[in-house]
Structure 1
Amino acid sequence: MPTNQIEVLGHAISNGKGVQLNLDIAKLHTRTKIQVPIIVERAKKEGPTILITAGIHGNEINGVEIVRQLVSKKYNKPECGMVICIPVVNVFGFLNQKRQFPDGRDLNRVFPGSPRGSLASRFAYHIIKEIVPLVDYCIDFHTGGDGRFNIPQIRINEGDEETLQLAKVFAPEFIVQTGHRDKSFRHTLHKLDKKVLLFEGGKSLHIDDAVSKAGVSGALRVMQHLGIRDFSKELESMDAKIKKPKVVKSSSWIRATYSGMFHPFVKLGSKVSKGDVLGSISDPFGYFERNVKARFPGYVICINESPIVNQGDGVLHISRD
């Protein structure tokens, strides 16, 4: 990285300086600007640039909390390189506590966007055009959708050995290798040769302290590994024990055979065998109850905590290897 000024959203940032900027390229029908705060901290010494994002889905609050903690505790101030934090990418979704962008689209399905596309597409375009070229690495924080509670995990592209090693540095309990999801933020950055760790933990509209701790400690380990800053004392005070992650190469959902009230019997992270009773589905009147059994052995990496499920809904996500 050069030692002279770097321009971010038209603002020159010198070595050792920090600034909060606003990405405000779009307006609602009321002419209200969509302003997304972007917090940039640059060290005096050269080094890599890491982008830390959350809230691409506006109702995924736990990711926002993780990035908030990184900023409020000044962990985003580097000794080398630059740290760019976007705690809430989809600000209006966050205000409305909804997953979608104001135009009803899923922002994570329109990248790299278009300057003449939908509102979400235009916004995605400017992130890719103005922020991403400065970035070497990215940690993107998410939660499970609706009532689906994900155990803290890192998702990476299958076959990417360098990112796999970086995921092991993050040290979640599980690393899930997945295929490409077209037009997602992660897939777009991957095509631009950026290394991306996608964190999944918790569920929508919920903050869990254990998930937050896993996200914060993992981010500190990655930044320390990249030489951005030494967080040895902080990690020691957090008592953030390093786990040997289990690498999941394939997984499947166990879906509800019946509609009714779902009662899970197992805990996240538990190992199950084929035929184990994992929960039950019952009617609200006390006349009907059926067990939900494991069809294959594996680890439980997500549980649907919605009390009411419909036939075909995913109720438990189990690793297959």
Structure 2
Amino acid sequence: MNTLAFPLSDQPFVAARPRLFSIAYRMLGMRADAEDVVQDAWLRWREADHAALQSETAWLVTVTTRLAIDRLRARQNERASYTGNWLPEPLVELASEEHTPESAAEQASDVSVAILWVLERLAPEERAAFLLRQVFDEDYPDIAATLGRSEASCRQMVHRAVERVKLEQPRFEVPAESHRELLAKFMQAASVADREAMKRFLAPDVAVVADGGGKVNSFLRILRGAGRIAGVFYWALEHAFPRRVQYRMATINGAPGLLRYVDGKIESAQSFDFADGKIAAVYIVRNPDKLRNVPASPD
């Protein structure tokens, strides 16, 4: 949607649009789905009685959240039959690129692939309550109004979600630059297939979660162990694609990540979790449907 094409009456929607996209993407994990939800919210906005709204932003947030919940429910059967692990579509930003209206979603650590991977375990309303409270700092009365639930029910949902996220995804507050430096060293080791050097940058219990969606070969189960994971990267360089692989640093969902190219074409987007100066988890998106908005070549 072109901002310049909006009439003055639509300016409240234009101002709220980055926030609405952020909500929808965090709920759905797919750019196209998030954009469709924002588009549907705009269509409803055009039909609304604006004079009767107490808060235009609150109305837009409510409509977007409910639309996202409905779409997530509709997608649950599809995701339940998905081949292998389901990871979100990566939001990739290169250093040379200009920021877009949606870049607010890409700049926040709370939209990381690791967090969205955990949120997939939550029910749609529970996920919405968690995001509205923990990410967007909404008050409980507003969350209750958005979800059509009691405040007590919303508090319970948020509490359960917070405990689940803490249990499955501990947070480590480390400067992004430190992550970037560690990742650059790992990328260098991976680029020359130095298996022992790669192991030094990996936590002993490091895990790899891969998403091929049944479209390309990928690991259907989570792999664990520094030796095994180093072997995965070594195998890709030395056996599967000898002298055909290139890595490129990128910002993926607001955090340092790697793009891997084979024969000059995008093969995967790789996100990382870090702990105690080591790589604790690797999330590899290989499903080509989720790489359509990733730079197609390393140049």
- TM-score in same-fold range (> 0.5): no
TM-score, normalised via structure 2 length: 0.22
Indicate the structure with greater strand content.
1
More RCO (CA 8 Å, sep 6+) = 2
State the TM-score, normalizing by the size of structure 1. Answer: 0.21
More helix by share: 2
